[in-house]
Every structure is written in C-alpha cells, then in structure tokens.
Chain A
Amino acid sequence: MTPGWHLRRRKLVSAAMTGACALAVLVALVPLASILVFIVARGLSSLDWDFFTKLPKPTGEAGGGMANAIAGSAKLILLASLVAVPVGVLAGLYVAEYRGRRLASAVRFAADVLNGIPSIVVGIFAYGTVVLPMHRFSAIAGAVALAIMMVPLVARTTEEMVLLVPEMLREGGMALGATRTQVAFSLVLPAALPGILTGVLVAVARIAGETAPLLFTSFNNQFWSSRIDQPTASLTVQIYSYAISPYDDLHRQAWAGALVLVVLILAVSLLARLFTRRLERMAGR
C-alpha cells in the first residue's frame, strides 16, 4: 500500500462522516421547521388586533381574543419567578460553594429528583396543598406549581455558573478577611450573575409552555382576573380548552394562541442567547 492510498481513504472517510453529520442535523431540524410552518400557516390567519386586546366571546359567537390569557400567563410566570428565582439561586449557590457538605449533597439530590417529577404530579401537589385549603382555583396555586418546576432548573444553572467562577477570586476575597459567606455573596454571585440570568430566562421559556400543572390550579377564566386569588386564564390552558372544543372558530383561535406562545418562547430563548453572547464578549472569552 502506498501512503497516497491511505491519505485518499482517510479523506473519503472524513467526507462521508461530515456528510452523515450534516444529514443528522437536517433530520433534527425537520420537526422544528415543520412545527413552525404548520403553526404559522394555521394560526396567522386568525391573528388580528382583537386577539391581543379582546376577551373571549361567549361560546358560539364569532370573534373575541385571548387578551386575558396572555396577561394571565405573564402574571403566573412573574409570580412563579418571584419565588423560584431567589430560592433556586440561593440553593444553587449553596450547593456549589459548600460542596462536600452533607446538606449540600442532599439539596442537590433533592433538586435532581424534583426536576424529574412529571409536571402533572406537581399540579396535583399544588391542588392538594393550595387549592383545597383555599377552596378555589387561583393564580397563587398556579404560580406555586410553576415555581416548584422552576426551582430545580434555576438551582442547577446557578450551580454550574458558580462552579465556573475561578478559585483565585475566592482566595483574593478571603485574603482580605472575608468569610466564606461574604465571598459567596459579594464576589462569586456577582461574577456568576450574567450566566444565572441566562439560566433564569431559559427556565422561564421552559415553564411558559406548561399546561398540566395549571389545569387544576389556576384553572381558567373567561374574564379579566385582577386578583391573584382568583381563577386565572393562561395561554396554554386556553389553547387546550379551545382545541378540545367542537367549534371551528375556537380551533382557529387555539392555533393563533399556539403561534403567540411559540413566538414568545422563541423570543425569550433568543434573548437568553443574546445575553450569553454579550456576557462572553464582556468577559473577554
């Protein structure tokens, strides 16, 4: 065999592999692209100004919108984040800064388990602990369910980001007389914050699409709900109830709702990516 033959063979194998990878990427992109095309095709035609500004019409009447559901989703996500972000960040910070301690391992394990619990089970839990005692569906109950799902996501990214903070920084702080906790809050957390914020956005995008935990917590509402202890509409539950209804008009609205939801989630994901890029550039990496 001549060396030339070897070289040719290697180039051939390399080309074949590159081709196979490209094909795999295409196959992976097909579902995403077709979902987008499908939703846009079905949803765009029923998307008008009313959709964003009007309440749902009584069943049978044409027109109306999902304004209350959009606002409700925003409210639920905001409430959930208000609880889940501080809890998740603190838990992640603790797990990373005090790794090796028994409690830290326990917290980490608990977060992993929580992450694996099906969302419908989380919904049932919130139903049992919030809805039943309060004797009604409410935004609070929905937010609790979403927060429970969000905490492990935020804790995990926080832990990862905190572990990326160089040890030198901690030593520098300690050498000036800072305690471990002071270092964690005054140096490590600010250094990891950009990454944590990206993680929070990703978690928001994740829970924004949840339906199951909201079905029997925040339930649904055909009207505006100004209070957080009232049943509250959300995009996902509204899409679900319209989709299983027998009316064509509601089906069209459901498609429009799905389009709005997907676009919002895409926007948040893009924001997270942009954020990461900006930070990486700032950190000079």
Chain B
Amino acid sequence: METATMTPSPTTPTHAVSMDARSAPASAPAADAPPLIEIGGFSFWYGPKQALFDIDLRIRERAVTAFIGPSGCGKSTLLRCLNRMNDLIDGVRVEGSVRVQGQDLYGPDVDVVDVRKRLGMVFQKSNPFPKSIFENVVYGLRLQGVKNKGVLRDACEKALRGSALWDEVKDRIEESALSLSGGQMQRLCIARALAVEPEVVLMDEPCSALDPIATAKIEELIFQLKERFTIVIVTHNMQQAARVSDETGFFMLGKLIEFDKTDVIFTRPKQKMTEDYITGRFG
C-alpha cells in the first residue's frame, strides 16, 4: 500500500540537482509532502530502564530536523534507533515502528547492514579510521565490494567536495586522516557518510567538540547538504537548532513534548515546558 509513496523518490534527485529550484522550497518544505521517516508509537528500553516513551514523529525529506532537550532526555537514543546502532548494546528492547519510505526498520526481514547504508551517521566526537584520508572516505564503498580505483577516486572526490573538504586536502588524500585538524576530521567523517550515498544523514552533536569557526563551516555545510539529503541533527546549541533546522522536536525525560516548524518552536511554542527550556529557565 505504501508503494505509491515510494515511486516518486527515485525521480526526485534529478530535480534536486538544480540549486535555484530547490533553495526556496527547501527552507519551507511543502507540508503535504509525504514524510521520509515516520516514527510511530516508538518506545525503547535499555534493559529494565525505559529511555523513550511512545514517540510519534514525522521527518520530512530534504529538510533538517533538529532534536533538542536537556541532557539525558533520549535524543541520542532516538537518533541511534533510526539506523539501529542501538542493536549493538545488549539487552535493549523496542516497541512501535520506524518506517522509512514505508518500510519498517524493525520489521522481521530487515537487513541491518542495509539500513545503516541508507541512514548514515556522524558522531559527536569525530572518529576517523587510522588510515589514509582516501581510505577513510571509500571505506563504505569497499565494504560494498567496489574495487575499481577510478570509481573510488571519483566517489572520494565527490564526497570530499560534498563535505567542503576537497580544497583543503586534495593534495594529500594519501596522508593519514589523523593528521587533520578537529574540524577537518569531523568533515571527513561527514564525507565518509556521504560517500555511500545515503538517503539520510544522522548527526549527533556534530559540532560540540569544535571551535566557532569550524562549527560555522559545518552549519554552512548542513545547509548545502539538505539539497541532496535528509538530515536529522541532535544539538545542545539553541542558536544552532534555530539556524540550521526546518523542524524541531523538543524532548524531555524520554518523551517528545513538542514537534513543529523550527520558527514556531522558537517564537511561539505551544507548550510551557518548551518555552521554559528555549528561554533558558531550566535545563
């Protein structure tokens, strides 16, 4: 029954290439567009401890969705549930569904490896592999069995351009990734995620370990990336959420308190709790 919503997506990238056609609607996505990710009645447990309570949330394609909320409210947990990284922890349990283009990620015959290819992830602390810059970027492609050197080189350049790192490293992509600066490493991790052409890029506080200049670069990058990718970002920085996101979800104690257009959340939230948090009265 969901096949109808799936058919338009393969054609959309061709429209998306032209920037001017995208830039206007990207900041205000059409409200009637079907959501790319649909989270329904989703709960999550770490062993006996429940970390998420009955979350309902729709994430729109080619938009930036931000998760905000006080520490420990479950933002990272939800983000990691979106590409099943939480499977790696023993004793976890989920209820409800996460549908990506109609397909339930927690369905019985889902290939976890495939899920992680479709939904890439960038971590709070950059985690470059102790390999060359080139090998870092093409790691995901090599896993998929791509061996052709030319294909890998092209993909590497494209991903590094995509993460605005190409100009800085083009002369030394054979050097160790560990020789990069902190901000460059984080952009390398973004390039690594982009190289496998995911549909969604999940970012967990990608700027929290960076200085203001590196942060500004990544924010600018997020702006460019949303023309091609759907982005979900966790952030503790209110200004950042306000600057980069189209929609924002406010979480507290594992519950989604409010979810709306970012300007609504930041200017006229419906919930008192949201307003208190945004204005810095707690948290």
Size bracket, chain B contacts: 20 to 34
Q: B143 near A176 (CB under 8 angstroms)?
A: yes
Which of B131, B143, B178 has the largest number of chain A CB atoms within 10 A? B143
Q: How far is the CB of A165 from chain B (nearest CB, A)?
A: 9
Q: B90 near A177 (CB under 8 angstroms)?
A: no
Q: B127 near A166 (CB under 8 angstroms)?
A: yes
A284 at interface (Cβ–Cβ under 8 A)?
yes
Q: B113 near A179 (CB under 8 angstroms)?
A: yes
Q: Which residues of B contact A172 (CB under 8 A)?
A: 123, 127-129, 189, 192
Cα(A250)–Cα(B196), bound, Å:
69
Known: A177-B114, A177-B116. A171 touches B196 (CB 8 A): no
Q: How far is the CB of B47 from chain A (nearest CB, A)?
A: 14
Q: Which residues of B contact A169 (CB under 8 A)?
A: 127, 129-130
Report A42-62 CB contacts with B as 1/0, cut-off 8 Å.
000000000000000000000
Q: How far is the CB of A99 from chain B (nearest CB, A)?
A: 11
A173 at interface (Cβ–Cβ under 8 A)?
yes
A3 at interface (Cβ–Cβ under 8 A)?
no
Q: B129 near A187 (CB under 8 angstroms)?
A: yes
B125 at interface (Cβ–Cβ under 8 A)?
yes
Within 8 A of A (CB), among B93-130: 113-114, 116-117, 120-121, 123, 125, 127-130
**Pick from A100, A166, A175, A186: contact of B116, CB under 8 Å:** A175
Q: Which residues of A contact B83 (CB under 8 A)?
A: 175
Q: Which residues of A contact B139 (CB under 8 A)?
A: 173, 176, 178, 186
Residue in A closest to B142 when the chains form the complex, CB atoms: A186
A244 at interface (Cβ–Cβ under 8 A)?
no
A182 at interface (Cβ–Cβ under 8 A)?
yes
Size bracket, chain A contacts: 10 to 19
B213 at interface (Cβ–Cβ under 8 A)?
no
Residue in B closest to A179 when the chains form the complex, CB atoms: B113
Known: A100-B90, A171-B127, A187-B129. A176 touches B85 (CB 8 A): no
Cα(A182)–Cα(B193), bound, Å:
17
Known: A179-B113, A182-B143. A174 touches B85 (CB 8 A): yes
Residues of B near any A CB (own CB < 8 A): 83, 85, 88, 90, 113-114, 116-117, 120-121, 123, 125, 127-131, 139-140, 143-144, 178, 189, 192-193, 196
A-B contact list, 27 entries, CB within 8 Å = A169-B127, A169-B129, A169-B130, A171-B85, A171-B123, A171-B127, A172-B123, A172-B127, A172-B129, A173-B139, A174-B88, A174-B116, A175-B193, A176-B116, A176-B117, A176-B143, A176-B192, A176-B193, A177-B140, A177-B143, A177-B196, A182-B143, A186-B139, A190-B130, A190-B131, A191-B130, A284-B178
Residues of A near any B CB (own CB < 8 A): 100, 166, 168-169, 171-179, 182, 186-187, 190-191, 284
